[in-house]
Amino acid sequence: MRPGVLGWMLIGMLGTGSYLAPRPWRLMLLALLVMAVVAVGRWHHRRTLVTIVRRLRHRQANQMQVIQGWLQLGRTNRVEEYVGRVTERIGEESRWYRDLPLSWLYSVLALDALAESRGIRCQWHISRMRPAWLTLYRFQHSVGRAIDSAGSSLDVHLDDHGFVVSLPDPKAVPRVRLGVRVWQQGETIVLMWHGRSRIRRADRKEEEAHVHR
């Protein structure tokens, strides 16, 4: 049985015990429950970090094999083109580290590693983001469901106003909630969430500030 499953079983047992136990034992069981939740959370994040690093190493190994193959064939022009594409992608990913908050960066890297581990090519188009936990939860949930339903590729547009996820060759229609819209355009399924109310509030504040001036 996996450690994560054992951890959640332990959490459930401690939660039940803290609810049913008499008062002298309740505080001790609640303290053990908090410690178990923290331990399971740390284990989950470590597993995700190992998955990210493993995917990056696998990607680098594949890139080296492609370059070695073209060099063995004497196709230096193909090597230059391929290195240019790889350099462009590395530059784009470097902008993620500069423009994204830590929580968003962690989620994007984890979702990208998850997609690649399942043989799904994920194209990211990311602008600057502000920390927003509810939007981040919507994003993680929606992209995770999209990866489960994707065929071979996924296209994600993410900015400060929301996100759009396109599945050009889906295996199924992803089930998402939390106000995320899902519709089909030909053979492509699109998931979208847009913080319209937040934008309207910001515009209203700007208009009020302009009036007061």
Asked whether residue 75 falls in the same domain as residue 129, the answer is: no
Helices (H), 73-195: 76-99, 102-117, 133-149
Count CB-CB contacts under 10 A for residue 134: 11
Mean pLDDT of the chain: 81
Residues of the chain falling short of pLDDT 70: 1-5, 7-8, 195-213
Number of separate helices (H) and strands (E) present in the chain = 6, 5
Considering its fold, how many domains does the chain have in total?
A: 2
What pLDDT, on the 0 to 100 scale, is given for residue 38? 81
Asked whether residue 34 falls in the same domain as residue 67, the answer is: yes
Angle between helices 76-99 and 102-117 (to 10 degrees): 140
What pLDDT, on the 0 to 100 scale, is given for residue 53? 86
Q: What is the pLDDT of residues 23-39, one digit of tens each?
A: 777 777 778 878 888 88
Domain extent, residue 39, equals 1-99
Residue 14 placed within a domain: yes
Asked whether residue 69 falls in the same domain as residue 125, the answer is: no
